Structure formats: C-alpha cells, structure tokens
Structure 1
Amino acid sequence: MDEQRVQAYLSLIQKLLNCDSGEEAARLSKHRELLLSKQRL
C-alpha cells in the first residue's frame, strides 16, 4: 500500500475518533471509495 493511501486511512481514523457521537456513519459514507478498496495495508 502506498504512503498516500496509508495517510488517507490514518486521517479517516482521526476524524472518526474526534467526531461527535452519531456522525460516524456520515463520515464513513464520505470515504466510501477508501473503505471499499481491495488493497490492504
């Protein structure tokens, strides 16, 4: 996995950790293409 993709995952994780309760699903749907990718870490 390339560095850019790793940084995208880390950024998403940080956003999920810092978002208000109940906003997780909206955040995840904004990054759907990242989550559905077949590449692995």
Structure 2
Amino acid sequence: MSTIYRIYTKDFKELKKSGNLALIVSVVSLVISTITFFR
C-alpha cells in the first residue's frame, strides 16, 4: 500500500506542473484504482 502511495505522490508532483486537467485525471484514476482495490 505504501509503495502505491509513493507512486501516486510522485505522479501528483509531476502532474501538478502540467496543469489542472492532468491533476483531475490523476485524481479520477486514483479513485478508480482505490475502488477496484477494496472491492
């Protein structure tokens, strides 16, 4: 779980530079992966 968190925080920092659209996409993918993980 911690490794997944590190990957997402790394992507979050990189996508923060790209803009809001990429940020929204990353959040959506995070939510989807969390739902599938706890299913």
State the TM-score bracket (shorter-chain normalisation): 0.3 to 0.5
Q: Higher relative contact order at CA 8 Å, sep ≥6: structure 1 or structure 2?
A: 1
Higher helix share: 2
TM-score by length of structure 2 reads 0.45
Q: What TM-score, normalized to structure 1?
A: 0.43
